Structure 1
Amino acid sequence: MWDDATKNDLRKRNPLDRKHLTDDEIDSIHLANIALLEEIGPRLRVRQIIIYTAIIFYRRFYQTQSFVNFDPHLVVGTVFFLASKVEESQLSLTTVASVLHHYTTSGVDEDESMYTFQDKDILECEFYVIEALQFDLILHHPFPSLLQFLDEFEIHEECLQLAWQLVQYSYRTDIILLYPPFMVAYAAAYISCRDAGYDAAQVFATVNIKKDLLLKIVGEFQEAVDDEKKLYAVQVAALEKLEEIIPDATSAEAEATPAAPAEK
C-alpha cells in the first residue's frame, strides 16, 4: 500500500465484479459490510482495534478477490475471527459463527436463508484470506499517531473527539488504504483543529510532513462524505444484485479459487 496509488488504481485490481456491478454499487456493498463489522464488534464485546483490523483485512481481501467467488458475509466472519487472533484476543470460532448467523439471517425464514455458514466454512475461508493478504498480517493504525500529535501540541479535548471520529470514519473509505496511518491521523487532526477555530496551518507549520499531501487527504475526507450519500442511494439495489452473483453455499467450496494477489 501507500505507493502513490489512487482510488481508480484500487478499482482496477479486481475487474471481475465490475462485469456485474458498477463502481458505486461495489462501494455501497463494501460500506454495508463494514457497517456489519462495526455492528458485530459490540455484540462480541471486543476491543475496537479488532474491529478496525478486521475492516482492513476485509478491504485488502477484496482488492484482489471477487464477490463471485467469495460471499462477503462469510468473509466478514472470517476476517473478524482472524483479527481477534492477530490482536491477541482470540474469539471462539463457534461464537463468531453464531453471531454472524444472527446478523445475516435476522428476518429471514430459516429454510430460505443463504447464510448458514459453519465453523469449518470460516476456517477454510481463513486460509484464502491469509493467502490473499500475502501473509502480511501486521497492521499499523492511525490512532497512536493521533494521540501523540494532540498531546505534543496540547490541543483541546474537543479536537481529540472530532479527530478520533474522523479516523474511525476513514475505515469506511479508501483513505485508510491509500495513505500511511500517520498521515491519516494528521489529516483528521488538521480538520478538527480548523473546525475548532485553531489556525490549522500555523499548528502544522512546524510538523515535518508533506503539506500538499496533507491537504490532499483533507480534501478526500470531504469527498468521501459527499460520495457516501450517493452510495447509500444505490445500496438496496446493489445488495439485491449481489444475491445473484455470490456463490451458492452448497458449491462455494468447489468454486472458491482465489485470484493471485496484486504485487505491492
Structure 2
Amino acid sequence: MDQEDGSSWYFSRSEIEENSPSLADGIDLKQENYLRKSYCTFLQDLGMRLKVPQVTIATAMIFCHRFYLRKSHANNDWRTIATVCMFLAAKVEETPRQLKDVILVSYQMINKKDPTAVQIIEQKEVYEQQKQLILLAQKLVLAILGSDLIVNHPYKPLDEAIKKFNVAQNALPVLARNFVNDGLQTSLCLQFKPHHIAAGAIFLASKFLRMELPSNGKKVWWQEFDVTPHQVEEVSNQMLELYEQN
C-alpha cells in the first residue's frame, strides 16, 4: 500500500458501499453518510480554529475517509479518529500544530455544551487521559493508513485549468472550488483521482452559471483533464446528490 499516487485507495462506489465495515456492524448507508458529514464538519471547524490552511483540512478529511474504508464506525469513535487525523495532516502538510493545542481545541468542541469544558481539560489528570487516548488512536490510524500519507488534491489541477481557460475573473473558480470543498464530505476522494474531481467541479460550476466552457483549438475542455465524459458526469452527479440530501 505504498503507491505514490495513492492508487491503492481507489474503488468503485458499489465496492465502497457494499464492503463497508460499518455496514457489516449494522450501520446502514444513510447513517454512514451522516457520520461522514459529521466528521468532515467537525474537521472543517477544528482546522479553522487551529488556523491551518484548507489543504490541511482536506488532507485530514481524506485520512478519515480512508480509515473508515477499512474500519467500522461501530467501534471507532469518529471524534477521536478525526482529532488524530487533523494532528497527522498538519504534520504531513508542513503546517504542524502542537498535540496539546489539537487536544484542547478538539475537547472543547466535543464538549461545547459544557461551559466548564475549558477548565476540565486543563486539569492535568483529564488532559493526560485524553492524550493517551489520542496517542493510542494515532497508532491505529497509522497502522490502517500505512506509509501512504501523501495526499494530492483537486485544487492544483483546478487552478491550472482555470488559468488555461482564462476564466479567472468570473464566478466560476470560486464556485468550482466550493464544489470541491463540499465534495470532501462524500466518498468521491475514494473513487476518483484529483483531476477527475476538478473536472466534475468545473463542469458543475459552468452548468450553474450557464457558461460555455472554452475549447482550445481541436481540444474539448474536458480533454485538458485526461478524463472521460462519463467520469465528469459521475463526479458532478455525486456532488449534486450531496445538496439533494441536505
Q: Same fold (TM over 0.5)?
A: yes
Q: Is the CA contact 1:17–1:67 (under 8 Å) kept in the aligned structure 2?
A: no
Q: Is the CA contact 2:11–2:190 (under 8 Å) kept in the aligned structure 1?
A: no
1:212 aligns with 2:230: yes
Q: Hey, what does 1:128 align to over in structure 2? A: 140
SS in structure 2 at match of 1:157: coil
Q: Is the CA contact 2:176–2:204 (under 8 Å) kept in the aligned structure 1?
A: yes
SS in structure 1 at match of 2:110: helix
Gaps of 5+ in 2: 1-6, 121-125
Q: Deviations over 1:116-139 (max 9, x none)?
A: 762222122111111111220011
- Counterpart code for 1:78: V
Residue of 152, 155, 177 corresponding to 1:143: 155
1:152 aligns with 2:169: no
Q: Is the CA contact 2:87–2:97 (under 8 Å) kept in the aligned structure 1?
A: yes
Shift of 1:215: 2.0
Gaps of 5+ in 1: 230-264
1:245-264 → structure 2 map (5 Å cutoff): none
1:1-264 → structure 2 map (5 Å cutoff): 1=7, 5-108=11-114, 118-155=130-167, 156-200=169-213, 202=215, 204=221, 207=224, 208-226=226-244, 228-229=245-246
Q: 1:16 to 1:220 in 2, by over 3 A?
A: closer
Structure 1 distance, partners of 2:229, 2:22, is 37
- Counterpart code for 1:129: V
SS in structure 1 at match of 2:181: helix
115-124 vs 176-185, which deviates more?
115-124
Higher relative contact order (CA 8 A, sep 6+): 1
Structure 2 distance, partners of 1:14, 1:29, is 13
212-221 vs 147-156, which deviates more?
212-221
Q: Is the CA contact 2:23–2:29 (under 8 Å) kept in the aligned structure 1?
A: no
Shift of 1:6: 2.5
Q: Is the CA contact 1:81–1:91 (under 8 Å) kept in the aligned structure 2?
A: yes
- Counterpart code for 1:159: L
Work out the percentage of aligned pairs sharing the same amino acid: 22
Structure 2 distance, partners of 1:130, 1:4, is 18
Instruction: Please give the root-mean-square deviation of Cα atoms over the aligned residues, in Å.
Output: 2.5
In the superposition, the TM-score normalised over structure 2's length comes to: 0.83
Q: Is the CA contact 2:103–2:130 (under 8 Å) kept in the aligned structure 1?
A: yes
Structure 1 distance, partners of 2:189, 2:141, is 19
Q: Deviations over 1:64-95 (max 9, x none)?
A: 11223321111011000000110112111011
- Counterpart code for 2:68: Y
Q: Is the CA contact 2:25–2:74 (under 8 Å) kept in the aligned structure 1?
A: no
SS in structure 2 at match of 1:148: helix
